[in-house]
Structure 1
Amino acid sequence: MTKKKLFLLDCSGYLFRAYFAITGMTNAEGKSTNALYGFIKSIQKLFKDFNPDHVVAVFDGRDNKKQRREIYPEYKAHREAIAPDLPHQIAWAQEYCNFAGISTLAIPEVEADDTMGTIARKAEKEGFEVFLCTSDKDMCQLVDDNVSMLNTHKGNEIIGPKEVEGKYGIPPSKFIDFLAITGDTSDNVPGIYGFGPKTAAKLLNDFKDLEDILEHPENVAGKKKQETLVAEADIARLSRKLVTIDINVDIPKDMTFSEVGDPDNEKLAEFYRTMDFMSLLRDVGSNVDVEEVDTEYTLVDDEENLQKLVATIKKAKTICFDTETTALHPLDAELVGIGFCVEQGKAWYIPANGNLGRETVIAAIKPIFENPKLGFYGHNVKYDCHILKNYGIDVKTICFDTILASYLLNAHIRRHSLDALAMHYFTKTKTPIEHLIGKGKKQISMAEVSIHEVCSYCCEDVDYTCRLKHVLEKELEDRNLTHILEDMELPLLKVLATMERHGIYVDVEKLGSMSKSLVAKIQELEKIVFELAGETFTINSPKQLSAILFEKLGIPPQKKTATGYSTNADVLEKLSIEYPIAAKVLEYRALEKLRSTYVDALPNDVNEKTHRVHCTFNQSVTATGRLSCKNPNLQNIPVRKEIGREIREAFRPENSSWQFLAADYSQIELRLLAHLSEDPTLVKAFNNGDDIHAMTASKVFHVPLDAVTKQQRTYAKTINFGILYGQQAFGLAQELGIGMKEAATFIKEYFGRFPKVRDFIEECKEKARETGKATTMLGRERLIPEINSNNKMIKTAAERLAVNTPLQGTAADLIKHAMIKMQQRLEDNNSEAFMILQVHDELVFETPKYEILTLETDVRDVMENVYSLNVPLIVDISLGKNWKEC
């Protein structure tokens, strides 16, 4: 008779691993969902692989360390506090299990290991075959002929007695003693000092058990080991108590509680919607009531129907459109076809590769797009405008963009795709593009897909974009955000499209010589690191580096992660003060990143036709309203180090009779702080043209302005910018390398001298608490749902956003307006100069030399007068024959 199988889930293990493996996932309320998503996917894989009938999801109970800390107060004492955005995901994981028909167990004052151990032994007695779904090696002590482990890190690999002995050199029955000897750094279990896994395995194979070893130390080879065993016998016995899993926890008496029930698909669907898990929602979609809407999707592939469609479009006030193409980068893409929609449920698709031919299609649609009386919209319209521009078509009037509308409504989340929005607003599972073109090595071009399939796909896109517009424009109106879309984001869209098409010239030969130089420096650093380590290893491997630093060299570890000791930049920065190898690894990483990310990668981004780099500026990514840049990201080239500045030298005008002009707002966020806080001292200083950092130093350190030292000014500069980002004494102390008490004194002195700044900060926090959002001067919103969290760390982070958003967000708004006005000025003047880059508070122009004086005057006029403040906006302008010189 086949044994019943019981699967016990170590839910903390699943959640913690997913938390570190997946980043950047939040729901519409801005709450993290990364760990939850990974947890659910792991559970789904388990059910797919094993189709279990009996499952228990085991969680740590509240105050679960209490019992072991009564024995040893230092138990798990060194662990960092749980990440602030994890507790709510643990609660959600329990909720998910309930909806999915999986029993959960979390016993107060009991760790999950003990609960799992107790259930395993009880189930084993009742004839179950038990699988412990965990990667925690402590659980090896439970493994026997009826109890196995499923290694969740390795695709649910089964680990039985043979595998345990093969890995550790001892049978599972001796594993408790093994752990008692080696200790467990992750749980702060001491073990016997200096006794590692190999020594422990040998001793346990030579002796009956731990007690036998401790009672006969004289039989152990090596005098030092004998002395250690005598000295640490009590510690070894204590460690044994700590690592022994309790198998006598009070659990439900009847094992029927472990039976998997029927999932509640209705509740699961609602749960997935709340979490914005659109891909998971598809799994239960067939069981969810979705409102059926009649659709009429038409293929237009002959002259008669083409003319009828053109006539229909001409009668419409606003028209939704979408292009289907052969590539993601618009300048490399060819038009496959174009879809139109003027009312919900009714759409048309014109193939450019059909009977009509591309030239006929272009000739028919060009007049309607260039008619200023017709308003066009879509989802990520800038891309589609580029495609049409490739064929000489200028879209005169853009009246809406659903991706920008969604972003303005929910800037704190990153998912504004058409698929996600269709699911969110209409519970519509759209056809994934992979269904048409495939993915990976088997991916084909959209031009190779049958016209009828593309027709259905494109019509669905424009139909749901049309439906979204009706919903989103009302939400914008209700929240008074329509003016941000119409007066800022849509005009800026056209400016960015112009900038992207111009691109920027890159000296590929210079990058090639830089690459050779960098490789030589990297190889030299590699040699130094290997010499300091005493062996060769893969420096880019965190696991190997961790082993070298913390095991071989015995450097004290700073931070523990789910996979071992951290070797991230923060850790290495701290270690670099005392350990040269850490400093050299940091230097190696910095050069290697510059080489791989920019020096060697940029030549691949150069367009073969234009010989320039055409990056994409995103309007719908950052929560503050700032633009971001990708393919390549030119905003992130480091400029504080010489090597970063050298990379900028490779960007230059293609024509030697042209130059770059860079215009940078000077201390714009501090000026906005002065304006918004109306602090008289700050306002006066900016209006007098004072050195704001020296003035701050004079006030905080109580010295005359002309007596301020260089160090005092540096401290004051750090304080000034730290205040903008809600920096507390701890952060300031770390940044300046001073004590907490001294840092707290500096901040106290600052607010004593600038009391209106303190009032402004508190007012920002209070407004956010009342409204759940922060607002820029021009009305852009950032929702901050975490502002009223009970978790102190989450709440503090939200308060920083509440203060920073009105400053950084307003700065972003002002430079966007400046870009719009400056582009208009260039066009009005029929200037040959053009804008090529925006890097946060800086604009970069490419200009013929004879236009420099006019351009400099215009840029200063536009940027400094873009908005009236009670302090002046100042722009620093520089010129150069390349970007580095600016």
Structure 2
Amino acid sequence: MAEKLVLIDGNSIAYRAFFALPLLNNDKGVYTNAVYGFTTMLLKILEEDNPDHMLVAFDAGKTTFRHKTYEEYKGGRQKTPPELSEQFPVLKELLDAFEIKHYQLDQFEADDIIGTLATQAKDSNYDVKVISGDKDLLQLVSEKVKVSLTKKGITNVDTYDPDFLMEKMEIRPDQVIDLKALMGDSSDNIPGVPGVGEKTAVKLLKQFDKLETIYEQLDDVSGKKLKEKLENHKKEAFMSKELVTIEQKAPVEVGLEDLKYNDYEPQKVASVFRDLGFQSLISRVAVNEDGDPGQESPKDWEEIEVTVLSELPADIITGEEAVVVEMLHENYHASPIVGISIVNSKGNYFISIEDAKNCEEFVNWVQDSSKEKWVFDAKRTLVALRRHGMVLRGAAFDLLLASYLINPAENNHDIPAISHRMNERAVRYDEEVYGKGAKMKVPDDQAVMQEHITRKAKVLFKLKESMEAQLKENEQYNLYKDLEMPLALILGDMEHGGVQVDVKRLQDMGDELDHRLTDIKKEIYDLAGEEFNLNSPKQLGPILFEKLNLPVIKKTKTGYSTSADVLEQLQDEHEIIEKILLFRQLGKLKSTYIEGLLKVVNRDTSKIHTRFNQALTQTGRLSSIEPNLQNIPIRLEEGRKIRQAFVPSKENWVMFASDYSQIELRVLAHIAQDEKLITAFKEGKDIHTQTASEVFDKSPEEVTSQMRRQAKAVNFGIVYGISDYGLSQSLGITRKEAKSFIEKYLSSYPGVKEYMSESVQEAKRLGYVTTFMNRRRYLPEINSRNFNQRSFAERTAMNTPIQGSAADVIKKAMIDLDNRLKQEHLQARMLLQVHDELILEAPEEELDKLKQIVPEVMEKTVALDVPLEVDYSFGPSWYDAK
């Protein structure tokens, strides 16, 4: 059987991959879409063709020997986008990992390298496959040389042999250069004969066979105009033929034996895939003996010796320990601890939770603030240990928070994922040890689990220094050490303490909503003149659009659309619409919030223990889950009343709520240094009335409530990066009107306009934007050629410093307030953070003190050029405290 050689046109395939796929980038901000597309094609070739020899040929530069013939060769071609240019070195590194030869030759193109090697291989009886997106290479087609041209995307190709070429294009391989000579090629700026297209060229070649014969027998060409074109552009035609002819005797310095391909090392390629973020491709290259995909073989790892402890000898503690408290499930409030690993410079240790909590030395060590603990997720660790009566002190490093600040766009910050990004790979992914989802369980072999948890702690111990160094290099160490770390422990205490819930009140609310829903349903049936399934669009649609003859806004494949946006457009058409919308809103309140909250109340304590996500949002804002207490709808009075069920945990205590007034707009005024905004806030003016006055050119006294509402939407729209389309939807006006509002706003506040422009330019220069406290948000799409991606990145560049800085302020206020409550020896404690609001509970006798210190602390937490303003209220429930 003949040897098989595969030759790939590197520039052509990378170029096509780049434009076929959306811009992708890995966690380091490196663009990877061209590399990814190229890789999918490469894997397909290796799987299907199993080549004996391989080469990827690249162009060496802009100038080639063809430019001596025609200076304008490839002239006018657009400059290669920098997002593509920067991927070629990455692509070559990937080829090195695959151990595939790549080559370029000064003054020659990839086509010439391929043509020369294909000819040599054909003469040596090799079977050759050429892969490209360039039809010029079809001139190489023969019985021994097949050319695969990309069609749609990258992996979809047409493979040409002489028969298929004749069937597809009605020419022989040797006529390809004549075809191109006649029709030219605008992509390479090859002139050809103006006015001669592919059909005419094929017709001429069928009649005359080749270019030379056409000109020898020019009088036999039919058509006066065609004859004139050929005659007038003879020089261009022959020059074009010379330009498109591939050089098959280029001075290539690699021989066929140099191209020998002996397959790749799976783990080496998998490692590169992980660095590039190609998780979906890992399973295609790396499979261990035990069948687990994409993981380096444990037999190649450094062996570790795990000492299983039943107590904690004092002589093994150094004061700098990496600690992993392992739980299988995300909900660590309910998940049991399956083991604890401690790694330090002396060794690797494992202890069960039962032995740990019964060991006085262990408990004392956990609670000794002078002994440093390096942990993964200090908040999670604190909550888990508090459940067993231990208070974590001395947490000096948090791998989760460090990783989050360094890579805020990354969505996986568990220890194996972090370690792989940091090239410390000797630890399995959790699912390989415990299984996935509902199937997660402790392995039967305890030694496997003990080693896995200890390997995690060992990785943590190794990475601490390099992670801190990167934070310092990014000027984020203070953000990490002074803000996020202390906040994690405060949030842990808040989570552990939970919020008291009046279960009976919640249940009564559910009953009240049931009665309301029944009444509204009856009213809807009366208006419709019949009963039907309100939750069925198939039944609701005909009622609205056929029986009641309302205008049809939108149709779907299955009938009429009855989505919320459609119904909102119909509100003025019939009173039934408003009732249907209310029915849906109240139904969601009952199912999502009343029933949802009842499901997560702790039966023993009647408390809800929400979990705060500290390492999730790219703006730095906190969010909460299970349940999401930041998302209880309060626009409807029925939704607001849900807060009545959140009450103090002790008798004669009250709920105390304090929130920042318009903090984002105050931050904007400070960042933008806009004189009008700063003056308005300093003078205590209503900022929305002030903006309406500017935008509508009215005195403040002339501003109507409608004008103020529109100005408010513009104010907050600027903060959240709203577009004219978004504002038009928000206000129910045309895009033209919305655009006019935004333009008037920016002309009224020139400092804001300048800030927005500068923030975009800064993002383009650096690739990221920062907040007050140097939190970063990376924006690789800021230089994208794709308008939508670039526009989103530009809006994000404008609003992230505002939203992120506001988040920094609130986080710092929480730390300052926690410190102050302790200094004053108050019993009051923070329960929740909801956007710009802090909710506390406190004894009634501490109210006067809270009224003084809470606003004082929150307003002085940072010094801005405008005053921070805090409102507070209190009462027997969260509802009454607002």
Q: 1:770 to 1:530 in 2, by over 3 A?
A: farther
- Greater Rg by CA: 2
1:473 to 2:481 alignment: no
1:300 to 2:287 alignment: no
User: In terms of mean alpha carbon deviation, does 591-600 or 872-881 score higher?
Assistant: 591-600
Choose from 659, 663, 666 the match for 1:668.
663
1:590 to 2:592 alignment: no
Which letter does structure 2 place at the counterpart of 1:539?
Answer: N
Q: 1:116 to 1:799 in 2, by over 3 A?
A: closer
Partner of 2:410 in structure 1? 413
Q: Is the 1:512–1:599 Cα contact (8 Å) retained in structure 2?
A: yes
Distance 2:573 2:729 in 1: 16
- Report the alpha carbon displacement of residue 371 of structure 1 after superposing the two structures with TM: 2.5
Partner of 2:361 in structure 1? 364
- Report the alpha carbon displacement of residue 609 of structure 1 after superposing the two structures with TM: 2.9
1:464 to 2:463 alignment: no
Partner of 2:804 in structure 1? 809
Distance 2:366 2:150 in 1: 68
Partner of 2:825 in structure 1? 830
Q: Is the 2:273–2:279 Cα contact (8 Å) retained in structure 1?
A: yes
Distance 2:519 2:152 in 1: 49
Partner of 2:119 in structure 1? none
1:719 to 2:727 alignment: no
- Report the alpha carbon displacement of residue 375 of structure 1 after superposing the two structures with TM: 1.2
Which letter does structure 2 place at the counterpart of 1:430?
Answer: V
Distance 1:478 1:822 in 2: 30
Mapping for residues 31-430 of structure 1, pairs under 5 Å: 269=270, 272-274=273-275, 276-278=277-279, 280-281=281-282, 284-285=285-286, 286=288, 292-302=300-310, 306-307=312-313, 310-313=314-317, 316-325=318-327, 328-343=330-345, 346-353=347-354, 357-361=355-359, 363-426=360-423, 428=425, 430=427
- Report the alpha carbon displacement of residue 454 of structure 1 after superposing the two structures with TM: 2.3
- Report the alpha carbon displacement of residue 388 of structure 1 after superposing the two structures with TM: 2.0
- Report the alpha carbon displacement of residue 628 of structure 1 after superposing the two structures with TM: 0.9
Partner of 1:652 in structure 2? 647
Distance 1:263 1:855 in 2: 67
Q: Which deviations, in whole Å up to 9, do the C-alpha atoms of 1:145-192 show, x marking residues without a partner?
A: xxxxxxxxxxxxxxxxxxxxxxxxxxxxxxxxxxxxxxxxxxxxxxxx
Choose from 599, 610, 615 the match for 1:604.
599
Distance 1:547 1:349 in 2: 66
- Report the alpha carbon displacement of residue 268 of structure 1 after superposing the two structures with TM: 6.0
- Report the alpha carbon displacement of residue 629 of structure 1 after superposing the two structures with TM: 0.6
The RMSD of aligned alpha carbons is 5.1
- Report the alpha carbon displacement of residue 651 of structure 1 after superposing the two structures with TM: 0.9
Partner of 2:865 in structure 1? 870
Partner of 1:149 in structure 2? none
User: In terms of mean alpha carbon deviation, does 828-837 or 284-293 score higher?
Assistant: 284-293
- Report the alpha carbon displacement of residue 412 of structure 1 after superposing the two structures with TM: 2.3
Distance 2:30 2:785 in 1: 13
Aligned to 1:867, the other structure's residue is in SS state coil
Distance 2:273 2:520 in 1: 49
- Report the alpha carbon displacement of residue 647 of structure 1 after superposing the two structures with TM: 1.0
Q: Is the 1:558–1:566 Cα contact (8 Å) retained in structure 2?
A: yes
1:539 to 2:535 alignment: yes
- Report the alpha carbon displacement of residue 747 of structure 1 after superposing the two structures with TM: 2.2
Q: 1:470 to 1:643 in 2, by over 3 A?
A: same
Q: 1:472 to 1:684 in 2, by over 3 A?
A: same
Aligned-residue sequence identity (percent) comes to 35
Which letter does structure 2 place at the counterpart of 1:452?
Answer: A
Q: 1:263 to 1:826 in 2, by over 3 A?
A: same
- Report the alpha carbon displacement of residue 695 of structure 1 after superposing the two structures with TM: 1.2
Q: 1:602 to 1:717 in 2, by over 3 A?
A: same
Mapping for residues 689-728 of structure 1, pairs under 5 Å: 689-728=684-723
Distance 1:467 1:850 in 2: 50
Q: Is the 1:499–1:837 Cα contact (8 Å) retained in structure 2?
A: yes
Partner of 2:879 in structure 1? 884
Q: Is the 2:150–2:157 Cα contact (8 Å) retained in structure 1?
A: no
1:617 to 2:619 alignment: no
Choose from 776, 785, 799 the match for 1:781.
776
Mapping for residues 457-606 of structure 1, pairs under 5 Å: 457-522=452-517, 528=524, 536=532, 539=535, 556=552, 558=554, 569-574=564-569, 578=573, 586-606=581-601
Give 5+ residue unaligned stretches, structure 2. Answer: 1-16, 51-83, 101-128, 136-148, 165-261, 289-293
- Report the alpha carbon displacement of residue 419 of structure 1 after superposing the two structures with TM: 2.2
Q: Is the 1:29–1:785 Cα contact (8 Å) retained in structure 2?
A: no
What TM-score results when the alignment is normalised by the length of structure 2? 0.67
Q: Which deviations, in whole Å up to 9, do the C-alpha atoms of 1:423-466 show, x marking residues without a partner?
A: 2222627334445544566554x4x8443222112111111222
Q: Which deviations, in whole Å up to 9, do the C-alpha atoms of 1:290-321 show, x marking residues without a partner?
A: 89552323132455xx42xx4122xx342110
Q: Is the 1:751–1:757 Cα contact (8 Å) retained in structure 2?
A: yes
Partner of 1:28 in structure 2? 27
Distance 1:712 1:442 in 2: 57
Q: Is the 1:379–1:403 Cα contact (8 Å) retained in structure 2?
A: yes
Q: Is the 1:278–1:420 Cα contact (8 Å) retained in structure 2?
A: no
Q: 1:359 to 1:676 in 2, by over 3 A?
A: closer
Distance 2:586 2:32 in 1: 34
Distance 1:884 1:841 in 2: 16
* Alignment size in residue pairs: 685
Partner of 1:58 in structure 2? none
Q: Is the 1:492–1:820 Cα contact (8 Å) retained in structure 2?
A: yes
Partner of 1:800 in structure 2? 795
Distance 1:801 1:103 in 2: 44
Which letter does structure 2 place at the counterpart of 1:318?
Answer: E
Aligned to 1:609, the other structure's residue is in SS state coil
Distance 1:123 1:816 in 2: 71
- Report the alpha carbon displacement of residue 846 of structure 1 after superposing the two structures with TM: 0.5
Q: Which deviations, in whole Å up to 9, do the C-alpha atoms of 1:859-886 show, x marking residues without a partner?
A: 0110000111111100011112111122
Q: Is the 1:412–1:784 Cα contact (8 Å) retained in structure 2?
A: no
- Report the alpha carbon displacement of residue 837 of structure 1 after superposing the two structures with TM: 0.5
Q: Which deviations, in whole Å up to 9, do the C-alpha atoms of 1:799-854 show, x marking residues without a partner?
A: 11111111111111111111011111111122111100101110001011111110
Partner of 1:208 in structure 2? none
Distance 2:362 2:829 in 1: 29
Q: 1:783 to 1:559 in 2, by over 3 A?
A: farther
Q: 1:690 to 1:509 in 2, by over 3 A?
A: same
Q: Is the 1:648–1:883 Cα contact (8 Å) retained in structure 2?
A: yes
1:451 to 2:446 alignment: yes
Q: 1:596 to 1:39 in 2, by over 3 A?
A: farther
Q: Which deviations, in whole Å up to 9, do the C-alpha atoms of 1:312-365 show, x marking residues without a partner?
A: 22xx34211012347654444444431011149x52111245xxx45543x121
Which letter does structure 1 place at the counterpart of 2:418?
Answer: L
Distance 2:163 2:372 in 1: 68
Q: Is the 1:835–1:844 Cα contact (8 Å) retained in structure 2?
A: yes
Q: 1:433 to 1:513 in 2, by over 3 A?
A: same
Choose from 808, 818, 824 the match for 2:813.
818
Partner of 1:240 in structure 2? none
- Report the alpha carbon displacement of residue 744 of structure 1 after superposing the two structures with TM: 2.6
Which letter does structure 2 place at the counterpart of 1:386?
Answer: V
Q: Is the 1:836–1:845 Cα contact (8 Å) retained in structure 2?
A: yes
1:685 to 2:680 alignment: yes
Q: Is the 2:357–2:388 Cα contact (8 Å) retained in structure 1?
A: no
Distance 1:337 1:380 in 2: 16
